[in-house]
Structure 1
Amino acid sequence: MASPIQPEYSSKFSNEFQISRILGMGGFGIVFECKNTLDERSYAVKRIAVSRCRQEIRNRLHEVRTMADLDHPGIVQYNGTWLERPPVQWQEKEDYKRLSKLGLDKYEQTMDHDVYIYIQMQKCDSSLTNWLATNGVQSSRNVKKMKSWIKQLVQGVNYIHEKKLIHRDLKPDNILIVGKDILKLCDLGISTARKYRSGEEVSTLRSDMCTRLYMSPEQKSSMPIYSSKTDIFSLGLIFAEMCVIITVERLKIFEGFREGESQSHIFSDSETDELISLISAYNSKAHPTCTDILNHPYLKK
């Protein structure tokens, strides 16, 4: 008796999106720049591969649910999500067919048992990481522009904190740029809820999943403890890198901040030094809130 003919698999992503390029790859999955064939607009589409375990799928949908609840100019716009369960070897063959046409011979390795979560988002033009890499002279760090960027980032983080969330992985890779001057936060995959007791925020023990270079002193400890102040310290390191050219000594300088050592020698401007030293203080209890930072005289000028 002949085997029944299996219906051809239909993929929403393959049917409705034309891939232009890969924007990023890593443990988080892969991000494509795509054009939607229906509305003819470009988007960033993030694909996360997970096992078919229901609990793991629910856990990985955390980022989707977090993004869907956020609506702010400083947060990358969320457009929708869907799941795909392709048959064995289908995704590997599809990737080879579609991506090799773009001259790409290295991309995410797929597994036959994978389920794929697709997150459709606003496409941005670049990342702060790219901007830092291509603006390696001090004259590119215009004070007025950097103050505007700092304000935008703090406003975005403040919104996240107001939604009772902690980002936990702030870094230049997770800061995207639209046009020349609009900054947006992305990648809330390991964000977590703020905890309160008697109306006051309390620190919470969490597993260490953040990027080590920009982590706070409390995140680096053997028992990482988090509060919203964790995001503030990371912002301090990012601001330092935005205002001053930091290249080969970056790790040493950032470790100095984490050890509570003054890094005033890297700043030529005392007012910039004052603000960043306040934000990146060793003791998290000394960190200002986002509102405090926005009201700081440095950003009022």
Structure 2
Amino acid sequence: RYTSKFADVFTVFLGIGGGGCVFKVENKLDKWRYAVKRIAVDPKNIDDALREVRAMAQFDHPGIIRYNCTWIERPPEGWQHDTNVEILKRMGSSSRRSVIKIFQMQFNDDCEFLYIQMQLCNYSLKEWLRENRSDSTRNLPRMKSWFKQIVEAVHYIHEKNLIHRDLKPSNILFAEIDHLKVCDLGIATERRIDEQTDTTITRTIIGSMLYLSPEQSSRYPYGSKTDVFTLGLILSELCVAITNRERSEIFDNFRHGIQCDRIQDSGTAKFIKKLTQVEPKDRPSCREMLDDLFLA
């Protein structure tokens, strides 16, 4: 009889669709709640799928989501479908809608499932931005504190010779009030840096289109400064409440060297301008950002 660690050890409370499925679960033994990410992978591509695991396993930083463990399951034909149906029955309607498309995907008979168990955070920066749509919620000292935590986490990633490449509010989570953590390191890549230019040979467009740097969207070589540009975009929406349509226009302007005139604080506007320079070489490193008086 086939046994599954995921089914045997955890009780599933919530599922979220995305680059796989992320489940909110409770361990039946220790009664602690975790997030478990499940990714369907072709056995030939297992090394690519393990990239996130290898990135997370080496990290020990208060600003990065805590990794617990990982395992691979190879269920017999039909077993996963039947299990998915049982999980869906136990979920609420809103959660069911969010994962049903993922569950309906047709997996190959030889498909394997990679499970990543990690720290559970119930709230994202994307949700906070959606629920706080007035400038009165943008207390500058508080926003700077949040942003500094994000920069410290990204600096740590860069110090590990990695680039995140997909920074965005949905990948920034609240572990508790005013304590943020960076997550979703699935496309973090090792960078081979030319010390003079800080560029890599990477040219692929990877990351969320809205938050791409100019060099990413143009398929130019890019390095750690691509994360810096995206940090500038995130800081701009921390400081100014914008609609989805405005966000798209403002971010596209940044990619073309046009600054946002809605940022009233001159120090903030000046700092964002540094981060969103079109040329990567003109942007500061995360270390230089942390040393800047703006984040002091």
Structure 2 counterpart of 1:20, one-letter code = F
SS in 2 for 1:153: helix
In the other structure, the counterpart of 1:44 is 35
In the other structure, the counterpart of 1:75 is 64
In the other structure, the counterpart of 2:210 is 213
Shift of 1:201: 3.3
Q: Does structure 2 conserve the Cα–Cα contact (< 8 Å) formed by 1:50 and 1:57?
A: yes
- Partner of residue 231 from structure 1, selected from 227, 233, 248: 227
User: Is residue 89 of structure 1 aligned with residue 86 of structure 2?
Assistant: no
- Partner of residue 4 from structure 2, selected from 6, 11, 32: 11
- 1:1-301 alignment, distance < 5 Å: 8-22=1-15, 24-26=16-18, 28-53=19-44, 56-103=45-92, 104=96, 106-108=100-102, 109-110=104-105, 111-113=107-109, 114-197=111-194, 201-221=198-218, 223-247=219-243, 248-263=245-260, 265-300=261-296
Shift of 1:198: 6.2
Distance in 1, matches of 2:194 and 2:276, equals 25
In the other structure, the counterpart of 1:5 is none
Higher share of residues assigned helix: 2
Distance in 2, matches of 1:272 and 1:128, equals 19
Distance in 2, matches of 1:92 and 1:98, equals 10
Q: Does structure 1 conserve the Cα–Cα contact (< 8 Å) formed by 2:4 and 2:73?
A: yes
Distance in 2, matches of 1:198 and 1:142, equals 38
SS in 1 for 2:71: strand
Q: Deviations over 1:52-72 (max 9, x none)?
A: 33xx01111111111101110
Distance in 2, matches of 1:198 and 1:169, equals 23
Q: Does structure 2 conserve the Cα–Cα contact (< 8 Å) formed by 1:194 and 1:201?
A: no
When Rg is computed on C-alpha atoms for both structures, the one with the higher figure is 1
Structure 2 counterpart of 1:238, one-letter code = I
Q: Does structure 2 conserve the Cα–Cα contact (< 8 Å) formed by 1:175 and 1:185?
A: yes
Shift of 1:125: 2.3
Q: Does structure 2 conserve the Cα–Cα contact (< 8 Å) formed by 1:76 and 1:184?
A: yes
Shift of 1:206: 2.9
Structure 2 counterpart of 1:116, one-letter code = F
With normalisation by structure 2, the TM-score equals 0.93
Distance in 1, matches of 2:22 and 2:176, equals 19
Q: Deviations over 1:43-100 (max 9, x none)?
A: 00000001233xx011111111111011100100000000001111111111111221
Question: Structure 1: any 5+ residue segments left out of the alignment?
Answer: 1-7
Question: Structure 2: any 5+ residue segments left out of the alignment?
Answer: none
Q: Does structure 1 conserve the Cα–Cα contact (< 8 Å) formed by 2:198 and 2:225?
A: no
Structure 1 112/262 Cα, relative in aligned 2: closer, same or farther at 3 Å?
A: closer
Shift of 1:200: 6.7
Structure 1 counterpart of 2:26, one-letter code = K
Q: Deviations over 1:223-253 (max 9, x none)?
A: 3421000000000001101110111311110
Shift of 1:207: 1.6
SS in 2 for 1:225: coil
Identity of aligned residues (%): 46
Q: How many residues align?
A: 287
SS in 1 for 2:198: strand
With normalisation by structure 1, the TM-score equals 0.92
Q: Which has the higher contact order (CA 8 A, sep 6+)?
A: 2
SS in 2 for 1:196: coil
Q: Does structure 2 conserve the Cα–Cα contact (< 8 Å) formed by 1:79 and 1:122?
A: yes
